[in-house]
Every structure is written in structure tokens, then in C-alpha cells.
Amino acid sequence: MPSQTLTIALAGNPNSGKTTIFNAITGTRQKVGNWPGVTVEKKEGTVARDGFTLRIVDLPGTYSLTPFSIEEIVSRDFVLDSRPDVVIDIIDASNLERSLYLATQLRELDCKVLFALNMADMARSRGIKINADKLSKLLAVPVVFTVGNKNEGIDALLERAVELARADLPPSTRRRVKYNKDIEAAIQRLVAHIESQNGGNLLYDPRWTAIKLLEDDRIIKERLARSAGDRGKQILELADRERHILMDRFDEDPEIIMTDERYGFIAGIMKEICTTSSRQRIDVSRNIDRVLTNRFVGFPIFLLFIWIMFQVTFTAGDYPVRWIESVFGMLSAALGQVLPSGLFKDFLINGVIAGVGSVAVFFPNILILFFFIALLEDTGYMARAAFLMDKIMHLIGLHGKSFIPMLMGFGCNVPAIMSARALESEKDRILTILITPFMSCSAKLPVYIILAGAFFGPQAGSVIFSIYLLGILLSIATGRLMRSTLLRGADAPFVMELPPYRVPMLKSLLIHMWDRGKIFLRKMSGIILIGSTVIWILSAFPQEIHRPPADRPAQAAAALQAKGHPGAADTGTSTAPESYLGQLGKLLEPAFRPMGIDWRGGVALLSGFAAKEIVVSTLGVLYAAESNNNALQSALRRSSMTPLSALSMMIFVLLYVPCLSTVAAIRRETGSTRWMLFSIFYSTGLAWVVSFCVYQGGRLIGYL
């Protein structure tokens, strides 16, 4: 009975020991010829094993699989067209980093790959320790150590090869290089188009085809044009458009960017699996990394960057904020002149403008913050920050990779929580999702700016920075707690890409900044307008006769005084406590008073569940601050609030229940209502406890 034949191809860099291993496997049973049409030598041999006939093919040595050299084309075509059952990538373990480039490219192809870490003896003698287990997990590829010229490991290699060939599983599509989001988005669009046009029925795997088209691979383009006719032409046109978008975005050919990112991926693998630094290619990125990811100075530098970010966000934002303020001030003054007195006027000035205006003025701050986040991402520093955090994150049983969703949380928690999808292990994902909301999002920034600005003067920037820091610390503490209770387990291995540093393009920074800034503007005309309206209605009714605002403070203060309220000294406030809102506030007061937050603060915090900016717009309406945040700040200063209660309120805002969209995102991404409820109660509980301790503790030591 003729046995089944399995084809096994040997790929690898020149001088990695392919021929040596080929000879060790096949002995004398080999034939030497040429690859069809070219003068590249082709060696083939057969050997019987485990009831199979193994056909071993020695591919030409290559460093990559680009369509530029004949050896690379021959190797790639063999894998693509002859579809060997297994491709063994012979990796020179003493030159690991260089070898991994081909390995990552093979990994992108639709074939089963097995790594032989050859020259294991050389690596050992040079003191290079390679964590093969981790390499295997990181790339989802089996790994065998071999010493070709001493015949070591060859038997195990064949055994694994046969095992892999017989396994029914298709090659894993996970654990491949992931490109930056612009490129991934282009790939996605191309793949979607390919799949909708051809039902995915092209010559090659859709994702791989998309990648090659973005790289302008001439061979793949030709084949597509030939085999797919008109549909092929459409795909090529779309690919061309996508290439132009990317070129415009990066000012560089996409293939260069993608090569860089593969090296980034490899650099990440190297950092994870290799303990001795036997790195020959010392380039600029690496030198910068020596400092920025240094064990001792890296972390302080990271903190310094973040501190600068908030300092600039706070101080540089101040000027444009004033301009916007004065525009709103003029608008409300003009409306005051033009409109007849009455409810409508009150609604426009004390509801809409006071509410929306008090948030809208922070648009410049928000844009500056987003600009910095884009800068962190586009320069490649974000990945380093994650890398720096790796050790700390491992303390809580998470990979540094989880820090990227967390950092993105500084912008907005919703995409941050969605980006946790990149984590494969469910527990890691849930844990990351649970701790991300403690990363203070940009919507909370207006609250801090108002409160810190009102009560901490020149220290405002540093106070805001400390609030953010507290968020990071508590998220880590929460992670640690969860890991030892509800979400026990170890972190899954993951490659952290360390893309080369790039000088960011201003245009790309501005686009990324604007993409996020738009969302803030949309909120302005949506949820914040609605929130302000609701708050205004609740604060203006029930009222038989509409009192002019000027009369209200005195009445409010008097009413409060009569009840022995701690806010009795209130002046400059405008919402009567007998309004619906006032009644609601009274109801809530016992919960908030221990944290030093009065009923207005309580109402503002409650309304903040819809969106965090609403905390500010509610305060704006409650103090009817005519959209002028200086006015709101001075109203706050004149209220019963102290620096200590402002601090307590900021901490509460930092920690308490995330906004509605974030809660919905948590529900969606964890697929569990229970985790959502857990997150709501845990965060609110923690917020209460911490704010309580800060406020009461502060009072005890008589600070502030």
C-alpha cells in the first residue's frame, strides 16, 4: 500500500544551517536540480517515517519574502502554490532578531509553520538565553532546538513536523503582526471588499492579499489582474486608493512603514524572550530606548512627560478658554438686552448658555490633551510607556500591553475598553476593562480644571496630575485585588510591539486630534444640551412667579440658614432649595455630606452619570454662572466649598460610576451584566470610601 506523502519545506536565512539539516534528514536519498526556469539550485529528498513518506524540499536561503530577488520569489511561490504540509523555518538562534523577520512573514502566510532554533550550541556559547516556550506561545508556532551539524534535535523536529502536518487545525490566524491603526483600517477595508466581491475566493488568503497589495507587490498584483478579471481590477483600484491615503498620512511608502512595524513586533518579541543583549544593529531607536526604557530613569521620565502634558493642557489652554468665555459672555449679555424677561430668557441664559457654555469653553484644553495623546501614539512612545509599565503590570498579573487601553482611557474610556479586544485571554480582558475606568478620561478634565482652578491657584496643574496618578495607582491596586480573588490566573503571553521612533507628521497628529475632538463637539449639542435643559427645568420649577436671578441668592442663603445647613454662608448661588432639584439634592445630601460635598455637588455628580462634562454644566446651571467659568469659579469660591472638599469632589469624580456610554461598553465587551453591575458598584463604593477618607482625614489633621 503506497503511503501518504507529506511535503515539508525548509525555509531560512542563508547560512542558518538548512542544507545541513536537510542532509541530516535525508542522508543520501536526495536529488539535486534547478527550480523551473531559474538557475537556483533545488534539493529534494524523501524519507519514510511513521507510515508516511516525507518529501523534504530545501528552499533557497532568504532574509525576507519580498518579490525582489529570485530566491525570495522561488521560496514564496513554493509555499503559495505547492502548499507544503508544513514549512520548517530554520532559525539561526545566534542571530535571532535577523531570523525572525522571515519568521514573521511566514507567519503571515496561510501555511503551517514550525520553528527549528538551530545553532543552539552557538547561542549557548555566546551566552544567549532564549525562552523557546515563550517564543512558541507568542507566535503560536511549535519550536524545537536543533544543532544541525551534530544531528541533535533532528528527530524531535521531524516528529513535530509530522504531528503538525496531521493536525486538522488550520494555521492559527492569531499572533500575527498587527500594524498601526491606519494600516489595519486599510487592510480591513480591502479585505471586506475582497470578501464581498469574490466571497473571499481569490488565489490567496484575503488578509495576506490585502497586505501585499498595500505593499504594492507587483507579482501579486499581476496575478490578481490575470485571474480575477474585472473584479480584480476593482480590487486593485481600491488598493491603490488606500495606498495613497496611507502615503499621504505617513509621507512614506506603506511598505516601508509596514517593514518598520514588523521590526517593531520583532523588537517586542526579543525583549520578551531573549535575556542577553547580543544585539548588533544599534540604531537610533535603540539608543533612545536605552534611556527611555531604562530600568531606573525610564519611569521618572515617563511621569515627567505626563506631568508636562497636564501642565500644558491646563496652562496653554487658558488663553483660548478666555476668548471663548468672552464670546459666550457677550452672547449672554446681548441676549439679556434683547430678550424680554421671562422663562424663555432664563432658560436660554441660565440653562443653555450657562450649562453648555460652561463645558464648551474647555474645548481648547481637550484638544491639547488629544494632541498630546496623538503625539504619544505617533512617535512610538506609547508602546514604550506600556513596556515600562510591563513590570508593574506583571505585579497585578497583567501584561504591559494592558497599559495601552489604560493610557487610551485618558482620552475616552469607550474606545479604550474596546481596544482591550486585542488581549486574547478572557480574564485579562475583563480585568483590563474593569480597571480602565479609573484612568481619568478627558470628559472629567473640565471638572478638575474648574475645581482645581478655583481652589488651588498656581498648583492646579500639579493637583490635576496627582488626581490622574491616583487613578493609575487605584487601577493597579484594583487589578491586584481582582487577580487574587475573582479573576485568579496568570497573564497570557503577548508580543508587545516596539515600533521604531518616528518623527510625527503634524498633519497626522492634527487628524488624530480632530477625530477625537469631534466627539466632544457632538456631545455638546447632544447629551450636554439635554442634561443642561433637564437640570434647568428641575431647578426652575416649581415656581409660581419667576424670580429674577438677583433675588435668589439671598433667599437661598436665608432658607439654608433657617435649616442650619452647613452651606449657610452661601452667596452668589442661584438655585432655590425648594425647587425639584433642591429637593432631590436634600434627599441625596446624607450620602454626600460625609465627603464634604453639598447638595449642589451631589446633584451635579448624579447628573454626571449621563456624561462627565455634565457635572460642570450642572454646576453652571446651579450657580447660573452665565457660561463664564471665571464666574463659576468665583461662585464656587464664595460657596461653602473649601480646597479640601474640592479635592474630595475631584477624587469622587475620578473614581465613581463611569458614564453611561462606558457602562454600555463594559456590558458589551464583557458580555455580562454582572460585570457591568460589579463595575458600577465597585467604582462608586471605592469613590465614596476614598473621598470620605481624604475629606475626614484632611479635617482631622486640620489641613486646608
Residues that bind ligand GDP (CB under 6 A): 12, 14-20, 61, 118-119, 121-122, 147-149
Which of the residues 1 through 20 are near Mg ion (CB under 5 A)? 19
- Please give the distance of CA 492 from its chain centroid, rounded to a whole number: 18
Of the candidates 61, 58, 116, 56, the one whose C-alpha atom is nearest the C-alpha of residue 90 is 116
CB 116 within 8 A of CB 154: no
The distance of closest approach from Cβ of residue 165 to ligand GDP in the complex, given in angstroms and rounded to an integer, is 22
Please compute Rg for the chain using Cα positions. 31
Query: Does the footprint of Mg ion cover residue 149 (CB under 5 A)?
Result: no
Residue 639 binding partner per list Mg ion, ligand GDP, none, with a CB distance cut-off of 5 to 8 Å that depends on partner kind:
none
Among ligand GDP, Mg ion, none, the one that 14 touches (CB under a kind-dependent 5 to 8 A) is: ligand GDP
We find the least distance from the C-beta atom of residue 260 to Mg ion, in angstroms, to be 30
118 with 90: CB under 8 angstroms? Answer: yes
Cell numbers linked to 665 = 461598553
Helix, strand, coil fractions of the chain, as percent rounded to 5: 65, 5, 25
CA–CA separation, 132 and 144 (whole Å): 8
Report the SS3 class of residue 330.
Answer: helix
Nine-digit cell string for 97: 532578531
Residue 122 interacting partner from ligand GDP, Mg ion, none (CB closer than 5 to 8 Å by kind): ligand GDP
Residue 118 binds which entry of ligand GDP, Mg ion, none, CB below 5-8 Å type-dependent: ligand GDP
Q: DSSP state, 93?
A: G
| CB of residue 17 to Mg ion, shortest distance in Å | 8
- Residue 122 or 559 with smaller CB distance to Mg ion: 122
- Whose CB is nearest to Mg ion? 19
**At closest approach, how far in Å is the CB of 118 from Mg ion?**
12
399 SS3 class = coil
Query: From Mg ion, ligand GDP, none, which one binds at residue 489 (CB under 5 to 8 Å depending on kind)?
Result: none
412 binds, among Mg ion, ligand GDP, none (CB under 5 to 8 A by kind): none
Nearer to ligand GDP, 89 or 377 (CB): 89
Shortest separation between residue 209's beta carbon and ligand GDP, angstroms:
29
The least CB distance from residue 162 to ligand GDP, in Å, is 21
In eight-state DSSP terms, residue 703 is -
Binding flags for Mg ion, 556-595, as an x/- string (CB under 5 A): ----------------------------------------
Please name the residue ranges forming H helices in 215-274. Answer: 218-250, 254-273
The listed partner (ligand GDP, Mg ion, none) that binds 149, CB under 5 to 8 Å by sort, is: ligand GDP
Nearer to ligand GDP, 117 or 540 (CB): 117
Task: Yes or no: say if 411 and 441 are a contact pair by the CB < 8 Å rule.
Answer: yes
Closest contact distance (angstroms) between CB of 72 and ligand GDP is 15
The H or E element spanning position 113 is strand 113-118
Q: In the complex with ligand GDP, which residue's Cβ is closer, 91 or 646?
A: 91
Count of residues that interact with Mg ion, criterion CB under 5 A: 1
Contact 673, 428 (CB under 8 A): no
Alpha helices in 524-623 (DSSP H): 529-540, 552-562, 580-592, 599-607, 613-622
Name the pairing type of β-strands 86-92 and 113-118: parallel
> Do strands 86-92 and 5-12 pair parallel, antiparallel, or not at all (unpaired)?
parallel
Partner interacting with residue 596 (select from Mg ion, ligand GDP, none; CB below 5-8 Å by kind):
none
State in angstroms the smallest separation of the CB of 237 from ligand GDP.
41
| Residue 422 CB, nearest approach to ligand GDP (Å) | 35
Q: Which is nearer to ligand GDP, 22 or 623 (CB)?
A: 22
Decide if 183 contacts 214 (C-beta within 8 A).
Answer: yes
Site string for Mg ion, 649-678 (x = CB under 5 A): ------------------------------
Least separation in angstroms between CB 142 and ligand GDP:
18
Residue 145 or 592 having the CB closest to ligand GDP: 145
Taking the complex as a whole, the smallest distance from the CB of residue 151 to ligand GDP amounts, in Å, to 9
Size of the chain, expressed as the number of residues it contains: 704
Residues 6+ apart with CB under 8 A from 613: 359, 362, 443, 446, 447, 523, 528
| The entry of ligand GDP, Mg ion, none that residue 493 binds, CB within 5 to 8 Å by partner kind | none
Indicate the residue among 43 and 243 with the shorter CB distance to Mg ion. 43
Phi-psi region of 464 (alpha: psi -120 to 50; beta: other; left: phi over 0): alpha
Q: Please, which residue, 21 or 161, has the CB nearer to Mg ion?
A: 21
Q: Which is nearer to Mg ion, 19 or 69 (CB)?
A: 19
* Three cell numbers, residue 698: 484632611
137 binds, among Mg ion, ligand GDP, none (CB under 5 to 8 A by kind): none
> With respect to Mg ion, which residue has the nearer C-beta, 19 or 696?
19
Q: Show Cβ contacts of residue 183 under 8 Å, excluding neighbours closer than 6 positions.
A: 214, 246, 254, 257, 258, 261
Closer of 41 and 551 to ligand GDP (Cβ) = 41
Q: Which does 312 bind (CB under 5 to 8 A by kind): Mg ion, ligand GDP, none?
A: none
Q: Which three cell numbers stand for residue 108?
A: 503571515
Q: How far is the CB of 63 from ligand GDP (least distance, A)?
A: 12
Q: How far is the CB of 152 from ligand GDP (least distance, A)?
A: 7
153: left (phi over 0), alpha (psi -120 to 50) or beta: left
Q: Which does 148 bind (CB under 5 to 8 A by kind): Mg ion, ligand GDP, none?
A: ligand GDP
Comparison of 43 and 523: residue with beta carbon closer to Mg ion: 43
From CA 326, how far away is CA 628, in angstroms rounded? 7
CB atoms within 10 A of CB 522: 11
What the block records as the C-alpha cell of 510 is 492634527
Instruction: Tell me how far apart the alpha carbons of residues 467 and 441 are, in angstroms, rounded to a whole number.
Output: 11
Find which of ligand GDP, Mg ion, none residue 20 binds, CB within 5 to 8 Å per kind: ligand GDP
In the bound complex, what is the minimum distance in angstroms from residue 61's beta carbon to ligand GDP? 5
Question: Cα(695)–Cα(597) distance, rounded to whole angstroms?
Answer: 9
- Smaller CB separation from ligand GDP, 14 or 526: 14
**CB 147 to ligand GDP: min, Å:** 4
Residue with cell 496568570: 490
Closest approach of Cβ 59 to ligand GDP, in Å? Answer: 10
The answer for residues whose C-beta is within 8 angstroms of residue 258's C-beta and 6 or more apart is: 179, 183, 211, 214, 215
Give the residue with the Cβ less far from ligand GDP, 56 or 611: 56
One-letter amino acid at 664 equals: A
Under 8 Å between Cβ of 106 and 89: yes
- Footprint (CB under 5 A) of Mg ion, residues 19-38: 19
By C-beta, is 41 or 195 nearer to Mg ion? 41
Nearer to ligand GDP, 122 or 559 (CB): 122
Q: What are the CA-CA distances from residue 500 to residues 251, 255, 261, 266, 523 (Å)? A: 16, 15, 7, 11, 36
Helix (H, G, I), strand (E, B) or coil at 460: helix
Residues that bind Mg ion (CB under 5 A): 19
